[in-house]
Amino acid sequence: MTTAPGKPKPDTTPLTQPYWQAAAEKRFVIQRCRACRHWIHFPEPACPACAGTDLAYEPVSGRGTVETFTVIERSFVPGFNAGGPYAVAWIGLPEQAGLRVLGNVTGCPPEEVHIGMAVEVWFEERAGFGLMPNFRKAG
């Protein structure tokens, strides 16, 4: 008997290594341009604001606000298809207007998720990978 495939593991790239290394240490960081201080997510090879290439990962507060979301009831994604409905959300970070990350919203029933909801980062253990940032209803 084969076990059902687990949830997808992040397919990391050299550019994003520091993001995942920080997550392994329970630190939530976002790429930032050293020249113009613009926060960048998803990470890029050059700053979208100033084209600078001196980029680093710096810590953010881990707080966020749901800007939009969807509740998925039937999923084609391995590991998610049997677990019941789940919420996926674009979460705006307070560190910069327009800075947003994608995550789940855990810690509450999916039907409670709404635009404007306060969330906070936590670190989920992903089988076969390690820790990854995710979000839950803010305490």
Partner 1 sequence: MAARQSFSGKAAIVGVGYTDFSRDSGRSVLHLALEAIGKAVADAGLERHAIDGLLSYAINDSVPVATVARALGLSRYRWHADYAGGGSLSASILTSAAMAIEAGLAETIVVYRALNGRTGKRMGQIGAGAGDGSEAQFVNPYGMLGPVHMFAMTAQRYMYERDLKPAHLAELAVLQRSKAVDNPKALLRQPITVDDYFAAPSIASPLRRFDCCLETDGACALIVTTAERAKGLVARPVTIHAGVRAGGRGAGMPDKAGDDLRTIFSHYVAPALYDAAGMVPGDFDIAGFYDAYSFLLLNQLEDFGFCTPGEVGGIVTSGRIGMTGDLPVNTGGGMLCEGYVHGLNNIVETVEQLQGKAGVRQVKNATTALCTGFGGAYGSALVLTAER
| Residues 96-135 within binding reach of partner 1 (CB under 8 A) | 97-98, 100-104, 115, 126, 132, 134
Whichever of 96 and 138 has its CB closer to partner 1, that residue is: 96
Q: Is 32 in the site for partner 1 (CB under 8 A)?
A: no
Within 8-73, where are the H helices?
17-24
- Residue 111 burial by Cβ neighbours in a 10 Å radius (0-12, 13-18, 19+): exposed
Q: Is 25 in the site for partner 1 (CB under 8 A)?
A: no
Whichever of 35 and 86 has its CB closer to partner 1, that residue is: 86
Q: Is 90 in the site for partner 1 (CB under 8 A)?
A: yes
Q: In sequence order, what DSSP letters do the residues of 98-131 get, joined into one string? A: T-EEEEEEESS-GGG--TT-EEEEEEEEETTTEE
Whichever of 1 and 40 has its CB closer to partner 1, that residue is: 40
Residue type, 110: P
Q: Is 17 in the site for partner 1 (CB under 8 A)?
A: no
Confirm if 51 and 69 have CB atoms less than 8 A apart.
no
CB of 41 to partner 1, least distance (A): 6
Distance, in Å, from the CA atom of 139 to the CA atom of 137, rounded to the nearest integer, reads 6
| Residues 42-81 within binding reach of partner 1 (CB under 8 A) | 42-43, 48, 67-77, 79-80
Token pair 């020249």: residue: 35
* Residues lying near partner 1 in the complex (CB under 8 A): 7-13, 15-16, 41-43, 48, 67-77, 79-80, 86, 88-90, 97-98, 100-104, 115, 126, 132, 134
